[in-house]
Structure 1
Amino acid sequence: MARTNPVTFFQQVRSEVRKVTWPGRNEVVISTIMVLVLVAFASVFFLVADMVISWLVTLMLSIR
C-alpha cells in the first residue's frame, strides 16, 4: 500500500468534498420528519408486539 503525503491527502479530500451535492433545507426538513414518523410507528409496533407476546407467555405459563 502506497503512503500518501498528508498535504496531498487533504487536497484530495477537498477535491472530493466539492463534488458532493448537499441537500437543501427543505429536503432536510422533510427527511427529518419522515424519520421521526417512522420511529414513532416502529415504537408503537414493538410496544404492541411486546405486549401481545407477554400476554401469550403469561397465558401459556398459567395453564396447568
Structure 2
Amino acid sequence: MGGASSISKRAEFCKARCPICTRARKGNRVARLFVKHIDRKVCPACRAYERVYQKRAYE
C-alpha cells in the first residue's frame, strides 16, 4: 500500500495541479463553491490536502 507517500503525492497534486482547487484558491467563486460543497467530500486529493496542510482545499 502507498502509505504516507501516496497521501503527500495526492496533496501535492491538489496544491499545484488540480484545475478546480487551484482556481478556487485563487478566488474563482464558482470553483470555490464546487470544492467547498462537493469536491472535497468526494476527491481523495482534496482530502489528502486537508490532512497534510491542515487547511480546507479551497482556502
Same fold (TM over 0.5): no
Higher relative contact order (CA 8 A, sep 6+): 2
Give the greater-gyration-radius structure (CA).
1
